[in-house]
Structure 1
Amino acid sequence: MLKKGSKLYSILTGSCPKCHQESMYFEKNPYNLKDLYKMHETCSHCHTQYMIEPSFFYGAMYVSYGLTVALGVAIFVISNVILNFPVKPTFIAIVVGIIVLMPVTARIARNIYINMFIHYDKNWKQNS
């Protein structure tokens, strides 16, 4: 169960990593591709600045790469090892799965990356 105060809550919901009170994104739906990366500059509750430095989220590309590799391996294991698909349909499943889940992977990578640097503060109201 996801509870406020955990890294997993912030990562999966895209909420502010410091206070968990609001979404960092203008549009919660990652499949609205034109707004996929549009974020608020700061949290309206705790005033945490999301763009810590210029080009901060370029580092999320490395996280995205790792997530995409893990996703490809998971799809391979499910389709080839468990479902016994031949190689060609397995390859197609991997490509389709990665393309379909790209917006979710991109958002989760950003969420993981910012949560590596900003931590939850249960006393954020007193520290603001």
Structure 2
Amino acid sequence: MTKPLIYFTAPYDHRGGQFAYRTVGLASEVSAFCTPILPALNQFLCAIQPQTEEYLLEYRLELLSKCDGLVMLAGEGFESNPEYLYARDMRMPILDRVHTQVYSEDFDDGGVHHWLTKLWTPEGWE
């Protein structure tokens, strides 16, 4: 099965502690896989930003109907603080491989410029 992506990206005020996200993938191929990972995804979302749990909750079921496999994250400072985001990774199958995209410029009308992509695995960064 082709694994789609969960793509997290910060909205316009990306320093405000709120995260928006979208998914890329075929819902029909992954819906059966998503149900067992709900607890892990909940835990992961809370680990990213506990104060955003309510914000993310309304989108969670829609997200799970489309996701899984690789998680993609975008945000300032993520690349320099992976332990903050992935502290629980070894207990979360959804996080066996994490793509992290780091931008070098601020948002401009919601667009992201000069992306640098890194891959994180339990063995470290690739």
Same fold (TM over 0.5): no
More strand by share: 2
If each structure's helix is expressed as a fraction of its own residues, which one has the higher value? 1
TM score, norm. by length of structure 1: 0.24
TM-score (norm 2): 0.25
- Work out which structure has the larger RCO, using CA pairs closer than 8 Å and 6 or more positions apart in sequence: 1
Structure of greater Rg: 1
